């Protein structure tokens, strides 16, 4: 087996893991190719939603019928182990990436290897990076795992407890990325705010302060921060975000606009805490982007509770809204709760989506005629994706990867602006 094809599902952490997988295999002499020409397929999986799980297992069955050897990596093997073991030719956990070459050798001998024991995670996450063609954006993880105990979350079963990576290594990786002409650094983890707490204290402000001192022309986007922990370091974070090197962007998941539902979810904060953070964010940054998450149809979400979520979204008007239908996952506390019929979850999702689209289109239309400085970060088939200083998406017909330019907004859509 000399050629591989890689598919990635899920979050930024999985994307970072996929970059490591590619580099490991290329150093071992394997070559990435198309699905049709590949000797084996690696699926780097996500197990957050049941829908995604079903999609991945269906995909594995299809690939097996086509005669492909399939390696299932990522979180799903640790969440649905029995199904994974039955379908895949080999299983690799998110903390076992360095074992991938050995796993492939075992498969070539006709075995069905399983690698799920923890490796030295720092060695995995700081596997050397390299320049990629047509890419100026890079995802850099700063920690693994979390400190939460959310009743609905299956990711903690795979990623487990918090492991903060070395500040020295993170800074070295960012400096190397800048040397390789990456222009956008996306810091990621399950919860950025808790970085360092496994070592006894909040270290995120210290890390970000050091990043702001690195020489070079680049932008940093912060990943998700849970409200309970973000509130404790808010003043320091917002002070550092004033640096030109940081997008004025905040990903703060709400999950529900009702305190009783949040309590049932075991989220450790109230709606009022969330609103306080949002208010201070917008006080500090007039031109900014707020991203948040909502789960529709959690088992304890009454009609009134859902209406409370609608009211909060209408109040805060987030620029980015991730909406998820509640999905029961094995071995979580919420698995034991009585689930809603899917039609109710679908309807609530539809109502929330419709409200957000109306709000955001109205907000985006106010930018028509204005001029914004943007960074061109991605070349697409027919256009370019650029980001304003707030991380607001601007689509351009012409551009050059990595360049900063001033553009005039000529049109507005729900999810992005059009620039010229």
If asked whether residues 159 and 96 sit together in one domain, one would say: no
Examine the fold and report which residue of 61, 90, 115 is the final residue of a domain before the chain moves on: 115
Examine the fold and report which residue of 115, 146, 165 is the final residue of a domain before the chain moves on: 115
If asked whether residues 191 and 312 sit together in one domain, one would say: yes
Count of the separate structural domains present in the chain:
3
Which structure tokens are listed for 36?
A: 């049709």
Distances in Å between the Cα of 14 and the Cα atoms of 11, 44, 182, 244 are 5, 7, 19, 28
DSSP state letters, 44-64: EE--S-HHHHHHHHHHHHHHH
By DSSP bridging, strand 69-74 and strand 40-45 are: parallel
Tell me, yes or no, if the pTM score tops 0.85.
Answer: yes
If asked whether residues 161 and 52 sit together in one domain, one would say: no
If asked whether residues 382 and 414 sit together in one domain, one would say: yes
Confirm if 228 and 255 have CB atoms less than 8 A apart. Answer: no
By DSSP bridging, strand 371-379 and strand 320-325 are: unpaired
What CATH number should be reported for the domain holding residue 390? 2.40.50
What CATH number should be reported for the domain holding residue 219? 3.80.30.20
If asked whether residues 30 and 71 sit together in one domain, one would say: yes
Give the pLDDT score at 49.
82
DSSP state letters, 14-28: HHHHHHHHHHHHHHT
- Total Cβ atoms within 10 A of residue 291: 16
Q: How far is residue 184's CA from residue 113's CA, in Å, rounded to a whole number?
A: 37
Examine the fold and report which residue of 365, 386, 404 is the final residue of a domain before the chain moves on: 365
If asked whether residues 328 and 375 sit together in one domain, one would say: no
- Total Cβ atoms within 10 A of residue 25: 21
Mean pLDDT of 24-40: 93
Q: At 193, which helix (H) or strand (E)?
A: none
Q: How far apart are the first and last CA of the chain?
A: 47
If asked whether residues 229 and 158 sit together in one domain, one would say: yes
Q: How far is residue 90's CA from residue 4's CA, in Å, rounded to a whole number?
A: 14
pLDDT at 121 over 70: no
The more confident residue out of 122 and 15 is 15
If asked whether residues 217 and 352 sit together in one domain, one would say: yes
Give the pLDDT score at 229.
97
- Stretch among 127-136, 148-157, 296-305 having the lowest mean pLDDT: 127-136
Residue 150 CA neighbour count, 13 Å, CB half:
27
Quickly state the pLDDT bin for 1 (edges 50, 70, 90). Answer: low
User: What pLDDT, in 10s, does the model give residues 297-351?
Assistant: 999 999 999 999 999 999 999 999 999 999 988 888 898 899 999 999 999 999 9
Burial state string for 40-72 with b = 16 or more CB within 10 A and e = fewer than 16: bbbbbbbbbbbebbeebbebbeebeeeebbbbb
- The DSSP output letter for 236 is H
Distances in Å between the Cα of 317 and the Cα atoms of 165, 218, 246 are 34, 28, 22
Confirm if 392 and 291 have CB atoms less than 8 A apart. Answer: no
If asked whether residues 132 and 108 sit together in one domain, one would say: no
Structural domain containing residue 249: 121-365
If asked whether residues 25 and 147 sit together in one domain, one would say: no
- Total Cβ atoms within 10 A of residue 1: 12
User: What pLDDT, in 10s, does the model give residues 161-215?
Assistant: 899 999 999 999 999 999 999 999 999 999 999 999 999 999 999 999 999 999 9
pLDDT at 32 over 70: yes
Quickly state the pLDDT bin for 359 (edges 50, 70, 90). Answer: very high
| For the chain, percent of residues with pLDDT exceeding 90 | 82
If asked whether residues 305 and 379 sit together in one domain, one would say: no
Distances in Å between the Cα of 419 and the Cα atoms of 164, 211, 376, 386, 397 are 39, 30, 11, 9, 8
Mean pLDDT of 48-74: 93
Distance of CA 226 to the CA centre of its chain: 13
User: What pLDDT, in 10s, does the model give residues 266-294?
Assistant: 999 999 999 999 999 999 999 999 999 99
The more confident residue out of 367 and 12 is 367
If asked whether residues 361 and 384 sit together in one domain, one would say: no
In the chain, what's the furthest Cα-to-Cα distance? 63
Give the pLDDT score at 119.
64
Q: Coil, strand, or helix at residue 296? A: strand
């Amino acid at each position: 087996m000399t050629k591989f094809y890689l598919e990635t599902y899920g979050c930024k952490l999985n994307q970072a893991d996929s970059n490591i997988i590619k580099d490991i295999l290329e150093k071992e002499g394997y070559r990435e190719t198309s699905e049709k020409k590949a000797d084996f397929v690696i699926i780097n999986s996500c197990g957050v939603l049941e829908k995604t799980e079903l999609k991945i297992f269906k995909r594995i069955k299809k690939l097996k019928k086509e005669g492909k050897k399939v390696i299932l990596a990522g979180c799903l093997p640790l969440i649905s182990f029995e199904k994974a073991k039955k379908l895949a030719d080999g299983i690799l956990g998110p903390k076992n990436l360095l074992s991938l070459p050995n796993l492939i050798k075992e498969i070539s001998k006709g075995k069905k290897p399983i690698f799920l024991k923890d490796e030295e995670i720092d060695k995995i996450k700081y596997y050397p990076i390299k320049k990629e063609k047509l890419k100026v954006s890079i995802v850099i993880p700063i920690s693994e795992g979390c400190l939460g105990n959310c009743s609905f979350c299956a990711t903690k079963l795979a990623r487990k407890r918090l492991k903060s990576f070395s500040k020295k290594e993170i800074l070295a990786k960012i400096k190397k990325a800048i040397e390789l002409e990456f222009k956008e650094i996306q810091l990621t983890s399950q919860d950025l705010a808790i970085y360092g707490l496994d070592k006894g204290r909040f270290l995120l402000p210290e890390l970000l302060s050091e990043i702001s001192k690195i020489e070079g022309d680049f932008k940093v986007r912060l990943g998700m921060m849970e409200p309970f922990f973000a509130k404790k370091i808010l003043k320091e974070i917002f002070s550092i975000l004033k640096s030109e090197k940081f997008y004025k962007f905040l990903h703060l998941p709400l999950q529900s606009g009702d305190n009783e539902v949040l309590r049932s979810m075991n989220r450790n904060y109230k709606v009022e805490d969330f609103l306080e953070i949002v208010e201070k964010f917008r006080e500090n940054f007039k031109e900014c982007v707020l991203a948040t998450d909502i789960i529709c149809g959690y088992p304890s979400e009454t009609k009134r509770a859902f209406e409370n979520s609608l009211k909060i979204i209408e109040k805060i008007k987030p620029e980015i809204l991730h909406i998820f239908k509640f999905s029961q996952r094995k071995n979580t506390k919420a698995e034991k709760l009585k689930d809603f019929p899917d039609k109710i979850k679908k309807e609530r999702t539809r109502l929330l989506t419709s409200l957000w689209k109306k709000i955001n289109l109205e907000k985006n239309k106010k930018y028509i005629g204005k001029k914004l400085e943007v960074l061109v970060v991605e070349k697409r088939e027919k256009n370019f994706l650029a980001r304003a200083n707030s991380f607001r998406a601007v689509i351009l017909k012409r551009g050059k990867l990595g360049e900063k330019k001033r553009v005039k907004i000529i049109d507005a859509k729900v999810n992005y602006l059009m620039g010229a």
